[in-house]
């Protein structure tokens, strides 16, 4: 018995060279680098002042002020790129089909920015000022959960955390689930936002 073919039907991206597939591909094709001076933090105390930051992304405009505060940047990136890929595919989750559509997201570290920021809050003000959203903001599996909630997917939902192999493992796991007939479709994203 032949396994079903697995195909990519939509793509999305948010990265240092562009916040959509067309822009990122154009910049890469023209040899533009996404490496520049850090702006998200003051690099005065470290030797390297250069790195790859996502530019021009406004989480408040995308998710609203309240939600943007409650979602770590790595999850914001997953939701943003996932939304692009879903739109690009033209796929709409309807009715009972939701149980046959899942999400698997690769991340090496999850919400490290939230962990660091809330640790600073605790050191400066005390434990009672730490955000009650810290745990859901920092967990690696928060990103697939938020994507599934946003788009109504009720199938398998998990994160893959295997350092630099996280993206490849997430894609492989999603393909395996489709081949085995466990799902009809998967949304697969890899996301990191380690710069604080």
Residue 112: per-residue pLDDT: 92
- pLDDT score of 86 more than 70: yes
Tell me the pLDDT tens digit for each residue of 89-132: 999 998 889 999 999 999 999 999 999 999 999 999 999 999 99
Outline where DSSP puts E strands in the chain. 35-37, 50-52, 101-106, 157-160, 185-190
**Rounded distance, CA 124 to CA 161, Å?**
31
21-190: CATH topology is Peroxisomal Thiolase; Chain A, domain 1 (3.40.47)
Mean pLDDT of 49-74: 94
Q: What pTM was estimated for this model as a whole?
A: 0.92
Residue 95: per-residue pLDDT: 87
């Amino acid at each position: 018995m032949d396994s079903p073919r697995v195909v990519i039907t939509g793509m999305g991206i948010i990265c240092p060279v562009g916040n959509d597939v067309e822009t990122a591909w154009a910049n890469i094709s023209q040899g533009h680098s996404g490496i520049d001076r850090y702006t998200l933090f003051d690099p005065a105390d470290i030797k390297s002042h250069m790195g790859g930051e996502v530019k021009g992304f406004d989480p408040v405009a995308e998710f609203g002020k309240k939600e943007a505060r409650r979602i770590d940047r790595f999850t914001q990136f997953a939701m943003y790129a996932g939304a692009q890929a879903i739109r690009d595919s033209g796929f709409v989750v309807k009715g009972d089909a939701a149980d046959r559509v899942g999400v698997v997201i690769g991340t090496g570290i999850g919400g490290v920015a939230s962990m660091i920021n809330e640790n600073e809050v605790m050191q400066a003000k005390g434990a009672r000022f730490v955000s009650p959203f810290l745990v859901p903001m920092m967990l690696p599996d928060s990103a697939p959960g938020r994507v599934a909630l946003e788009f109504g997917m009720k199938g398998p939902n998990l994160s893959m955390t295997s350092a630099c192999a996280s993206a490849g493992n997430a894609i492989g796991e999603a393909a395996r689930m489709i081949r085995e007939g466990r799902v009809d479709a998967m949304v697969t994203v890899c996301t990191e936002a380690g710069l604080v």
